[in-house]
A and B are shown apart, each in its own frame.
Chain A
Amino acid sequence: MSLIATSGLELRHAGQVILHDVNFSIHAGEIVTIVGPNGSGKSSFLRALVGAMPVARGSVTRKSGLRIGYVPQRLQIDATLPLTVRRFLNLPKRQSEATVHKALTRAGVDALADRQMTALSGGQFQRVLLARALLNDPHILILDEATQGLDQPGAAAFYARIEEVRRDLGCAVLMVSHDLHVVMAASDRVICLNGHVCCEGTPKVVADAPEYRALFGTGTQGTLALYRHDHDHGHDHHHHHDHD
């Protein structure tokens, strides 16, 4: 049974249809990546899945008792709000010290518990968000452009961490990303959105699809092949980043 599924999903913003006829499902342990140009409805789609956006038509079905770990696209913390990392992880539910420590360790930021959220670097901040998403041992991690604002090594390290987390927890991962090469290589399935699902399938199928090429061009083809090659052989594909 799928963790989350949508059927004929339509989303509107200010009366305008931004996404229509989306049939989607994700299963336990799967890594699915959503790509698409800006304004293609990717973030709205994730927000609808977590229940933060109303469904205009169709349906969203979540497996009952599903635990979601959500990392939003943008989290602006006002400088007037004093908040330590530890306190942040205790929202909205109080957690035991051990749980907080475990989540921070998994995300690789266990030394930061007493730091102020507003004093963190971009990479540290994203990892703390990841730690927060891991608190409740999620069945599925939903990441909305989690590496936005990170440099390439930072993004690569972040994805490596996610892979690790998935291995340890066995959770599904659904992410929106612009880092096409890395993400596509690491994904079981890629969905290309542009107001609707233009194409989907394995990274290779999507990369070869004319709809995808029309959106992203063919320029990435070479590097993509390189990464896929790497991935097949089980190497760490992230160190190829500087080849871009």
Chain B
Amino acid sequence: MLDDFVVRAALAGLGVALAAAPLGCFVVWRRMAYFGDATSHAALLGVALALALELPIFAGVLIVALSMALVVSALAERHVSTDALLGVLAHAALAFGLVSLSFLPGRAVDLSVYLFGEILAVTRADLALIWGGACVVVGLLAWRWQALLTATLNPDLAHAAGGNPRREQLVLTLTLAIVVAVAIKVVGALLIAALLIIPAAAARPLARTPEWMAIWAVILGAGAALGGLQLSFLFDTPTGPSIVSLAAVFFVTTTALAALRR
């Protein structure tokens, strides 16, 4: 079954949706959209690093994404994280990544692969990484769920209850880097943040509790992955953008339905 590239693509999309959706909820709740942007754009630098040092792409992206995520969350903690600064980081990471890829000697790198992903070229080894990464992410989030939610509401409340909001921030930072590293092959650096935010935002009108929002985000993310894959076959469109487009359609639909019901 895994011999079929379509099946592998579908499984890759599902794995990424499973990891990205619950993490995306926290990105939305904590207003960390730029955090996601900066980290995922930094993935291109990671690709350049990996190609230059002949490391696996996954390793290079994980290292650079984690560094970027740590820098951004350190800045956020010192309250110097204005919108502008995060915007600068996000776009600078992208630009430097593109420039550094052009420096690589000996071979012309196909940029579009890293910018938009290449879900139809996912191998068995990629699948193992994606699902392994997704399990780690979901496991970490489930384990820290209550503490993460409390710290998201108010760090002082977490302190007063004996918690450590800093540790929870670190969990989010780490899981974000993992999601970026596993998702770059599927949707590319440009659209990873979209896969985090859009299913979560689309799930918001359907949920009355944080848990249901995360579950709905997984369902909608998975639906977008499978549906987008199918659409890209039907209309011969690029797969990653098709997935994100479908997720955006879900968002408009649930938001409009909620507005009508009110």
Classify chain A: how many residues form its interface, as a range. 20 to 34
Q: Which of A75, A84, A142 contacts B154 (CB 8 A)?
A: A75
How long is the Cα–Cα vector from A50 to B66 in the complex, in angstroms?
Answer: 31
How long is the Cα–Cα vector from A89 to B159 in the complex, in angstroms?
Answer: 16
- Of the A-B pairs whose beta carbons lie under 8 Å apart in the complex, a sample of 26, sorted by A's number, is A50-B156, A50-B159, A51-B159, A51-B160, A51-B162, A52-B155, A52-B156, A52-B159, A52-B160, A68-B160, A70-B160, A72-B157, A75-B153, A78-B28, A78-B29, A78-B30, A80-B29, A81-B213, A82-B208, A82-B209, A82-B213, A83-B153, A83-B210, A84-B208, A92-B158, A92-B163
CB pair A94 B146 closer than 8 Å: yes
B residues in contact with A70, CB < 8 Å: 156-157, 160
Q: Is A231 an interface residue (CB 8 A)?
A: no
B residues touching A (Cβ–Cβ < 8 Å)?
Answer: 28-31, 146-147, 149-150, 152-163, 200-201, 204, 207-210, 212-213
B contacts with A: majority SS: helix
In this complex, the member of B28, B159, B161 whose beta carbon has the largest number of chain A beta carbons within 10 angstroms is B161
Q: What residue in chain B is nearest A138 (Cβ atoms)?
A: B160
CB pair B156 A91 closer than 8 Å: no
CB pair B150 A91 closer than 8 Å: yes
In this complex, the member of B149, B157, B207, B212 whose beta carbon has the largest number of chain A beta carbons within 10 angstroms is B157
CB pair A81 B152 closer than 8 Å: yes
For the A-B complex, the count of residue pairs with Cβ-Cβ distances under 8 Å equals 69
A contacts with B: majority SS: loop
A residues touching B (Cβ–Cβ < 8 Å)?
Answer: 47, 50-52, 68, 70, 72, 75, 77-78, 80-84, 87-88, 91-94, 116, 142
CB pair A82 B210 closer than 8 Å: yes
In this complex, the member of B30, B31, B146, B154 whose beta carbon has the largest number of chain A beta carbons within 10 angstroms is B154
How long is the Cα–Cα vector from A72 to B157 in the complex, in angstroms?
Answer: 7
How long is the Cα–Cα vector from A87 to B214 in the complex, in angstroms?
Answer: 15
A87-B150 contact, Cβ under 8 Å, with A50-B156, A52-B159, A75-B157 = no
